[in-house]
Amino acid sequence: MNIVVCVKYVPDATADRKFEDDFTVDRVGVDGLLSELDEYAVEQALQFREKREGEEITVTALTVGPEKAVDAVRKALQMGADSGVHVLDEAIAGSDYIATSLVLAKAIEKIKADAGADLVVCGMASTDAAGSVVPAMLAERLGMPQVTLASVIESQGDQVRIKRDNEGSTEVIGATLPIVLSVTDQSGEARYPSFKGIMAAKKKPLETYSLSDLGVDAGQVGLSVAWSQVEDTTERPPRTAGEIVTDEDGSGAGALVDFLASKKFI
Amino acid sequence: MSEVLVVIDHVDGEVKKPTYELLTIAKRLGDPAAVFFGSPEQGDAVAEKVKAYGAGKVYVVDDAQIKGFLVAPKAEALQQLAEQVSGGDGLAAILLPSSFENKEVAGRLAIKLGSGLITDAVDVQAGEGGPVTTQSVFAGNYTVQAKVTQGTPIITVKPNSAAPEQAEGAGSVEAFAATISDTARTAQIVATQPRQSTGRPELTEAAIVVSGGRGTGGNFEPVEGFADSIGAAVGASRAAVDSGWMPHAFQVGQTGKTVSPQLYVANGISGAIQHRAGMQTSKTIVAVNKDPEAPIFELVDFGVVGDLHTVLPAATEKVKERKG
């Protein structure tokens, strides 16, 4: 069995994230890293393998992105994935969800032909675009069941059951492999790479695919053919400094209530 | 005018507020037509409600073949409906309330219809080449204006993106029979346990949100008491959820709910980026925190440096006194 885990290289959320002049996300001027929410996906892929002792299971980390995006795959390899695939092609820059999911799906199909893809694992969202739509789009394109936003994952044979928190309820979802699975940050803390893991990662296979390797026409992807277009971006003006009072002998509560009353909240 | 499909947000036929917000937005773009996934018996009652907000048509889609499976059947049904409407009066846009589930429906639908998709809009206005959306991105630090350039615009819209405006619509009910394929019914909902209602307003829809973080030390009573005194929803930071003090459904932040209320009161919450992403666009922000250096104070309109365990109960009493 082979598990493909999709990982995204994103600008650090704690840095000052910016846009380029063409309104694409600045992925060069801001330090990047493996999206925190994809660390949970890598973790669950590894746990899936570890729980099924005695079975031969490999984990392939897959990313689509610019040159530096390979760091996301490297991190996954350091955590314990067995091999990596980086889809790198200048034409991909500026792709929307539609094109990104197309490239990912084609890459997964290629991995499937070579090593198999019995389980595709994604994070619940990226920390930059935060759309949460790519896992569902992958399921649509690959014709696999979509089992998304899992907080608990159990499997036996080819059966997978997950628990998830929906808007107003907790649900149990069942499906038969192969599936596309997405996991939330409630699924369990992601492991840190060990020193041994970091050293071992250097020797693990890491392949680079171009669009032509995947049979995707360059005219199908990228900013110029995106099905949605950003017309403008505006930095939110910094909030003007508010009034801060220090609570002394109960003065804080009075000041708080006075403020709320002055704004007609009470 | 072309129709604008609005997917109704409801629980067992009880229509929720974001539906009316979307109908109000839909009117800017064309003829609002509501889509009800549910029991056909509830169709007429739902139509009565949505026609008061301008729904000309109400498509009732029997969800008997749909509700037991995740996302894919709904996307299939919407595709068939969209294709029927496109062949009739034309289709200007498809609007869905921005929940995790609806975003996934929208994602699959976009691929099926060959349409561009915009998620989590906080405003939608009519533009020359179709709807122009506003999104709040990078933890609320930027706003982005965008439009769909291919196919029927599919837009998911966050709660509180418009003030619902009443407008009389025809509300004519039309049953729509969708054909759901076997391949769309492969992720089965084996069990559902509804969460118990707290009796408080819905977190994402509330005008006021009072939330607590690490500083509560696990005791949410002061937070809940104050919330109830001013009719607010209760929220929690990721630290409070990770500590097991509050269920994940209450989490405000990047991986929880994004709220944009009139008033947000953060108690014992430091204001990490993860939390800010979920509340930074609130109109008025107030914080109570022991640490004067807490980053949350950079965002506030009003802040109290003090212990929430003494400030909030005292404030609750004062609110009650004022209300008499």
Nearest to A6 by CA among A58, A68, A84: A84
Amino acid residing at B187: A
CA–CA dist B238, B270 (Å, integer): 11
CA–CA dist B144, A253 (Å, integer): 38
Distant-in-sequence, close-in-space partners of A149: CB < 8 Å, separation ≥ 6: A124, A164, A165, A166, A182, A183, A184, B100
Partner A, chain B 107-136, Cβ-Cβ below 8 Å: 107-108, 110-112, 114-120, 132, 136
Q: Which residues of B touch A155 (CB under 8 A)?
A: none
CA–CA dist B30, B81 (Å, integer): 17
Query: What 8-state DSSP symbol labels residue B251?
Result: B
Q: What is the pLDDT of residues A95-131, one digit of tens each?
A: 999 999 999 999 999 999 999 999 999 999 999 999 9
- Can you list the alpha helix ranges (DSSP code H) found in chain A? 36-51, 70-79, 97-114, 134-142, 195-201, 211-214, 251-262
- For residue A188, is pLDDT > 80? yes
Prediction ipTM score: 0.95
**What pLDDT score was predicted for residue A241?**
80
- For residue A29, is pLDDT > 90? no
Whether the link from the prior residue into A178 is cis, omega within 30° of 0, is: yes
Residue count (chain A) = 266
Nearest to A78 by CA among A182, A191, A188: A191
Contacts 24+ apart (CB under 8 A), B196-202: B198/B234, B200/B227, B200/B228, B200/B232, B200/B233, B200/B234, B201/B231, B201/B232, B201/B233, B202/B16, B202/B17, B202/B233
**What pLDDT score was predicted for residue B89?**
81
Q: Which residues of chain B have pLDDT under 70?
A: none
Q: What is the pLDDT of residues A200-257, one digit of tens each?
A: 999 999 999 999 999 999 999 999 999 999 999 999 888 788 999 999 988 999 999 9
CA–CA dist B222, A100 (Å, integer): 46
Q: What is the pLDDT of residues A168-187, one digit of tens each?
A: 789 999 999 999 999 999 99
Q: Which residues of B touch A256 (CB under 8 A)?
A: 286, 288, 302, 304, 311, 315
**What pLDDT score was predicted for residue A131?**
92
The answer, for A58 touching chain B at a CB cutoff of 8 Å, is: no
> Does B311 contact A253 at a Cβ distance shorter than 8 Å?
yes
Yes or no: say if B105 and B163 are a contact pair by the CB < 8 Å rule. no
**Mean pLDDT within A144-155:** 97
Query: What 8-state DSSP symbol labels residue A240?
Result: P
CA–CA dist B72, B180 (Å, integer): 9
Name which of B141, B192, B306 is nearest A236 (Cβ-Cβ).
B141
Yes or no: say if A207 and A82 are a contact pair by the CB < 8 Å rule. no
- For residue A167, is pLDDT > 80? no
Distant-in-sequence, close-in-space partners of B241: CB < 8 Å, separation ≥ 6: B247, B248, B250, B251, B256
> Does A167 contact B100 at a Cβ distance shorter than 8 Å?
yes
**What pLDDT score was predicted for residue B196?**
81
The encoded tokens of residue A83 equal: 């091999």
The encoded tokens of residue B277 equal: 């992403």
**What pLDDT score was predicted for residue A14?**
86
CA–CA dist A109, A120 (Å, integer): 11
CA–CA dist B123, B280 (Å, integer): 16
> 3-state SS string over B66-126?
CCCECCHHHHHHHHHHHHHHHHCCCEEEEEEECCHHHHHHHHHHHHHHCCCEEEEEEEEEE
Give percent helix, percent strand, percent coil of chain A, each to the nearest 5.
35, 30, 40
A contact test, residue of B79, B137, B143 with most A CBs within 10 A: B137
> Does B103 contact A132 at a Cβ distance shorter than 8 Å?
yes
CA–CA dist B173, B38 (Å, integer): 13
Q: What is the pLDDT of residues A47-95, one digit of tens each?
A: 999 999 999 999 999 999 999 999 999 999 999 999 999 999 999 999 9
Distances in Å between the Cα of B138 and the Cα atoms of A35, A61, A99, A133, B98 are 14, 26, 22, 17, 17
Distant-in-sequence, close-in-space partners of B87: CB < 8 Å, separation ≥ 6: none
Q: Which residues of B touch A132 (CB under 8 A)?
A: 100, 103-104, 119
Distances in Å between the Cα of A135 and the Cα atoms of A5, A58, A60, A98, B142 are 11, 20, 16, 11, 25
**What pLDDT score was predicted for residue A240?**
81
CA–CA dist B154, A266 (Å, integer): 39
- Can you list the alpha helix ranges (DSSP code H) found in B245-307? 273-279
Nearest to A88 by CA among A77, A103, A109: A103
Yes or no: say if A104 and A121 are a contact pair by the CB < 8 Å rule. no
Longest dimension (CA), chain B: 64
Q: Which pTM value belongs to this model?
A: 0.94
List residues bridging with A164 in a β-sheet.
Answer: A171
Q: Which residues of B touch A184 (CB under 8 A)?
A: 248, 255
CA–CA dist B232, B166 (Å, integer): 25
> 3-state SS string over B14-41?
EECHHHHHHHHHHHHHCEEEEEEEECHH
Q: Which residues of B touch A252 (CB under 8 A)?
A: 288, 304-306, 310-311, 314-315
Planar angle of CA A147, B159, B106, nearest 5 degrees: 40
Give me the total of CB pairs closer than 8 Å, taking one residue from chain A and one from chain B. Answer: 270
CA–CA dist B152, A62 (Å, integer): 31
Q: How far apart are the first and last CA of chain A?
A: 60
